[in-house]
C-alpha cells in the first residue's frame, strides 16, 4: 500500500438537540473515531441507519464543521468549515451522494452540470470545456447525445453516472461515496460498481465507500470499518474482517447476510441474535454502547467503554472480550 492520504483522529460531531431544557443534550452522531485512507485504497464504512456514516462523510468533505478531533489530508489539517477550506483541497476530495435525483440541479443540462466544476476550479481554459465535458462523459460511458439533456429525463443509473462524472471533473485524488447504489435498481447497481472500480484503477483514486450493505464490501473494499452509534467497533483488511470477525456486532451482521459460495458459508459466523433495538444517539448506553444488544454482555461492559485494541494483520476491535 502507498502512503496515507487521509487521517482522522478522535473525530467527534455532536448536534445540539435544541429547545428549552435541552441545552446540554446532543446527538452524538460521531463520538471519537480514528481511521486512515491510503492512496488507491477503498475503505468500506458500514453500519446500520443512524450509525453516523453520512455525518462522517460530511465532515470529511467539509460540509459540517467538527466538534473535536483532527482531519488531515496529505498532511494538511482540513478539519475546518468548507468556507475556510482552501479551494485546492475542495478539488482534491469529491463526493457522490446517495440520491442523484436530488444532488443534480434539475434546471441544468448535463453539459452545464459538468462544466461548472471545470470553471470553479479552473481545470482547463474555457475553450476546452466542450472537449473536457465530452471526455468526462466517455469516462462514465454516457452517450454524448445526453449533453443537452436535463437530469429529469435520465434514468437513475444515468443520473448517478453524471454525478460520478461531476466528481471526476476536478481530477480528485479521493472520492467519498455515500451509498452510491442503494437508491438504484438492482439491474444497474453492478454496472455502477464495476465502473467505480475501473475508474479507481485508471486514476489511482482513494474511496471512502459508505454503505449499509456489508456483502457488497466483500468484493469492493480493501479494508472494512464497522460503525455503531458514532464509534468504530471493528476495522480490518477485508479478508480478515470476513474470515475472522472479532466484534459481536460484526458477527451479528455477518451471520445474517446471504452467502454465495461454500467457502463463504464456512467462514460465516453462527447466527447471533441481538436483543433490542439500536439505542438513540442522544442516550448512548454507559460503558460499551453495544451492551444493551450484545448476547455476550458482561458486568464490565456496562461500566467501561472498551478501547480499540490492535491485533496482528492491522485488525482492530473495541470489545472487552478481546482484551482477555
Nearer to ligand SF4, 218 or 318 (CB): 318
User: Which residue in the set 206, 301, 315, 316 belongs to the binding site for ligand SF4 (CB under 6 A)?
Assistant: 301
Q: How far apart are CA 168 and CA 241, in angstroms?
A: 30
User: Which residue in the set 38, 82, 298, 308 belongs to the binding site for ligand SF4 (CB under 6 A)?
Assistant: 298
H-helix segments, 225-309? 238-243, 248-255, 262-267
Q: What beta strand segments (E) does 229-306 contain?
A: 231-237
Provide the minimum distance between the beta carbon of 49 and ligand ADP in the complex, in angstroms, as a whole number. Answer: 4
- Write out the three cell numbers for 3: 502512503
What is the dihedral angle through the alpha carbons of 182, 187, 193, 194, rounded to the nearest 10 degrees? 180
- How far apart are the two ends of the chain, measured CA to CA in Å? 31
User: Which residue in the set 1, 76, 296, 311 belongs to the binding site for ligand SF4 (CB under 6 A)?
Assistant: 296
Contact 318, 306 (CB under 8 A): yes
Quick check: 29 binds ligand ADP (CB under 6 A)? Answer: yes
Rule CB under 6 A: which of 224-283 touch ligand ADP? 281
Quick check: 173 binds Mg ion (CB under 5 A)? Answer: no
User: Which residue in the set 14, 297, 315, 316 belongs to the binding site for ligand SF4 (CB under 6 A)?
Assistant: 297
Q: Which residues pair with 177 in a beta bridge?
A: 96, 209
Binding partner of 15, given ligand ADP, Mg ion, ligand SF4, none, CB within 5-8 angstroms per partner class: ligand ADP
Quick check: 47 binds ligand ADP (CB under 6 A)? Answer: yes
- Write out the three cell numbers for 166: 461531476
Quick check: 223 binds ligand ADP (CB under 6 A)? Answer: no
Q: How far apart are CA 288 and CA 291, in angstroms?
A: 5
User: Which residue in the set 51, 54, 160, 250 belongs to the binding site for Mg ion (CB under 5 A)?
Assistant: 54
- Contacts with ligand SF4 by CB under 6 A lie at 248, 288, 290-291, 294, 296-298, 301, 306, 319-321
- Contacts with Mg ion by CB under 5 A lie at 53-54
Amino acid at each position: 500500500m502507498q502512503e496515507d492520504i487521509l487521517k482522522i483522529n478522535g473525530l467527534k460531531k455532536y448536534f445540539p438537540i435544541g429547545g428549552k431544557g435541552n441545552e446540554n443534550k446532543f446527538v452524538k452522531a460521531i463520538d471519537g473515531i480514528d481511521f486512515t485512507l491510503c492512496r488507491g485504497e477503498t475503505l468500506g464504512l458500514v453500519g446500520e441507519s443512524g450509525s453516523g456514516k453520512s455525518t462522517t462523510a460530511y465532515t470529511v468533505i467539509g460540509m459540517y464543521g467538527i466538534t473535536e478531533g483532527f482531519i488531515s489530508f496529505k498532511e494538511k489539517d482540513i478539519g475546518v468549515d468548507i468556507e475556510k477550506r482552501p479551494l485546492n483541497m475542495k478539488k482534491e476530495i469529491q463526493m457522490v451522494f446517495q440520491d442523484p435525483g436530488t444532488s443534480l440541479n434539475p434546471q441544468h443540462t448535463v453539459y452545464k452540470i459538468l462544466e461548472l466544476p471545470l470553471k470553479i476550479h479552473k481545470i482547463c481554459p474555457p475553450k476546452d470545456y466542450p472537449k473536457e465535458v465530452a471526455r468526462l462523459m466517455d469516462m462514465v460511458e454516457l452517450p454524448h447525445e445526453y449533453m443537452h439533456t436535463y437530469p429529469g429525463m435520465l434514468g437513475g443509473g444515468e443520473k448517478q453516472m453524471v454525478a460520478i462524472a461531476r466528481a471526476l471533473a476536478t481530477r480528485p485524488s479521493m472520492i467519498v461515496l455515500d451509498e452510491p447504489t442503494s437508491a438504484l435498481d438492482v439491474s444497474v447497481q453492478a454496472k455502477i460498481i464495476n465502473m467505480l472500480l475501473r475508474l479507481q484503477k485508471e486514476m489511482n483514486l482513494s474511496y471512502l465507500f459508505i454503505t449499509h450493505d456489508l456483502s457488497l464490501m466483500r468484493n469492493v473494499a480493501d479494508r472494512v470499518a464497522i460503525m455503531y452509534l458514532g464509534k468504530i467497533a471493528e476495522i480490518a483488511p477485508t479478508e480478515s474482517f470476513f474470515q475472522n470477525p472479532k466484534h459481536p456486532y460484526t458477527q451479528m451482521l455477518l451471520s445474517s447476510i446471504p452467502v454465495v459460495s461454500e467457502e463463504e458459508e464456512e467462514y460465516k459466523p453462527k447466527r447471533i441474535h441481538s436483543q433490542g433495538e439500536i439505542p438513540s444517539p442522544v442516550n448512548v448506553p454507559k460503558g460499551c454502547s453495544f451492551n444493551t444488544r450484545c448476547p455476550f454482555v458482561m458486568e464490565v461492559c456496562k461500566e467501561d467503554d472498551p478501547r480499540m485494541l490492535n491485533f496482528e494483520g492491522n485488525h482492530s476491535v473495541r470489545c472487552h472480550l478481546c482484551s482477555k
